[in-house]
Chains A and B, each alone.
Chain A
Amino acid sequence: MTSEQFFSLLQGAWGTLVLSLLTFAIGGLAGLALAMARISPARPVRVAAAAWIQLIQGTPLLVLMGLCFYGPNIAGIGSVPALLAATLAMSIYASAFLGEIWRGCIQAVHKSQWEAAECLGLTRWQRMRQVVLPQALRLATPPTVGFAVQIIKNTSVASLVIGFAELSYNAKVLNNSTFQPFVYFGAAALLYFAMSYPLSRWSLALERKLNASRR
């Protein structure tokens, strides 16, 4: 492998990171909104949010990417930049899963905490913000960090329908010209591993700490 080729892989890795961060930020905000909707006192909101999440979780990410890439055509928009389409698709995908994770964590905060806060005279939003969410945050951190690993891996799908130039795409291009799959895909795998593994370990450490403190 020449240094140029390696640099191409690094550029791909950068594309992976950028897409991952954008997805986490936007998908995270949307996920939070979905989580709130899932526990809303208004039944239609709850049902709609649940249905939407079921829908997204039953869709392959690749299909979602296709819809986001070709969808804007119906609104008359011409071609969509790859990064935009990929971010849109992945954010929708991530928001559904993160929303479910966070809803579970919010509901796991003991009911007695809710009731105690209510008895102190706090409004629903105050209860949320000051009592429940901080505790839910602690519970939510290990699985959220774990899902960040999923996001990084899922960015590889953007190389297919959309053709976004992230790590898998660049590795495939290099393989197409050199026919050395073990070298280039192996290197790509190592780079993915280098990005993911520290997060995996961190998630595990967080979970252990959480279990220890809850005893």
Chain B
Amino acid sequence: MKYEFDFASVLAQWPLFLEGAWTTVQLSFLATVLGFVLGALCAVGRGSRYGWLRRLVGAYVEAIRNTPLLVQSYFLVFGLSSVGATMPIMVGAVLALVINIGAYTCEILRAGIESIHGGQIEAAECLGLSHVQILWHVVLRPAVERVWPALTSQFVLMMLATSIMSSVGAEELLGVANRIQSDTFRNFEVFLVLWGLYLALSYLMRTGFWLLGLMVFTRRRKLGTPL
């Protein structure tokens, strides 16, 4: 029995696909920005002189990295609504994504921070810079430049993982696709279209990060060599 492809009925739903893709973009953007901030704070905390802070951040990172995003999302979203703290689905989804990506970003930034030569920090101290000034000018800026490729990969993977947010009701690309599937019953075609859309999104995201890197890291733009 030959299967008859019917892309027409699926592609007719292109406005819905676009809406879903836009939701995916919004989720990814918010989670990337907020996740980066959380990750940076945690990376700094990981190297703090306060033992309790180091252990706290360490526990958070290990808990997140050894459990799946799906279970974290269920726990957070369904858990919070069960104690009456209902929130819009998008807020819950962003929260789950931020808490998840924050832990991975922390580890990546941590590696970048530790790659900064101790001598430079000494030199900065001897110029009289404060701890915060040293952290910003001498540690974080070059650290982020160094791990930019790793950060890019991580955030792109997260964008792909936003598909899991459909399980808590988010109407992102996959959530929208589920609806289209129940209307058209062309499951395989829908997944093929999804495949193409996600590939396009990951290509766009990678390019975006690359361009952002060139804009922000002047040295890289001018010299072309890695730090």
Contact = CB atoms under 8 A, between A and B. Distances in A.
Direct contact of A and B (CB under 8 A): yes
Interface of A: 55, 58-63, 66-67, 69-71, 73-76, 149, 153-157, 159-160, 168, 171-172, 175, 179-182, 185-186, 188-189, 192-193, 196-197, 200
Given A63-B174, A74-B3, A168 B68 contact: yes
A160 B164 contact: yes
Contacts of B69: 153, 156
Nearest to A155: B68
B82 A76 contact: no
Contacts of B72: 189
B9 interface: no
B67 to A, nearest CB: 5
A63 B79 CA distance: 27
B166 A160 contact: yes
B129 interface: no
Contacts of B56: none
Interface stretch (B47-55, B143-151, B185-193, B211-219): B185-193
B78 interface: yes
Interface of B: 1-3, 5, 62-63, 65-72, 74-75, 78-79, 82, 156, 160-161, 163-164, 166-167, 174, 187-188, 190-192, 194-195, 198-199, 202-203
Nearest to A167: B71
Contacts of A185: 71, 74-75, 78-79
Contacts of B203: 58
Nearest to A195: B66
Nearest to B193: A63
Contacts of B67: 153, 189, 192-193, 196
Given A70-B187, A73-B188, A182 B79 contact: yes
B202 A168 contact: no
A17 to B, nearest CB: 14
A58 B202 contact: yes
Contacts of A179: 82
Contacts of A153: 66-69
Nearest to B5: A74
B188 A58 contact: no
A157 B166 CA distance: 11
Nearest to A69: B187
Contact of B194 (A66, A69, A160): A66
A60 B174 contact: yes
A153 B67 CA distance: 6
A200 B164 contact: no
Nearest to B161: A60
Contacts of B71: 156, 168, 171, 185, 188-189, 192
13 contacts: A60-B198, A62-B164, A63-B198, A67-B192, A73-B187, A153-B68, A156-B69, A157-B68, A168-B68, A172-B74, A181-B79, A189-B63, A193-B67
B191 A70 contact: yes
A55 B79 contact: no
